[in-house]
Amino acid sequence: MDHRASTGNDNIDRKMTFVDLFLSLQESKPDMYDDETIKGLIL
C-alpha cells in the first residue's frame, strides 16, 4: 500500500517500473490483477 501512495503525478519524469505497470493495471482492472497474481508474476 505504501508504494501506491508514493506513485503520484508529482514526478512525471520518473520511468515506470514493472511493478508500477501492474499496479496501474490493478487500478483499472482489479478483478484481473489482484495482489496474488501480481506477486506470482514478479516472483
pLDDT tens digit at each of 43 positions of the chain: 555 555 555 556 778 899 899 999 999 999 999 999 989 988 8
Angle at the Cα of 23 from the Cα atoms of 40 and 5, rounded to 5 degrees: 125
Q: Is 3 inside any structural domain?
A: no
Q: Residue 9 has what pLDDT?
A: 57
Note the pTM of the prediction, 2 decimals.
0.56
Alpha helices in 1-43 (DSSP H): 2-5, 18-28, 35-42
Q: Is residue 30 part of a domain?
A: yes
Q: Is 1 among the domain residues?
A: no
Is 6 inside a domain boundary?
A: no
How many separate domains does the chain show? 1
Q: What is the pLDDT of residue 11?
A: 56
Cell numbers at 21, concatenated = 505497470
Supply the range of the domain harboring residue 41.
15-43
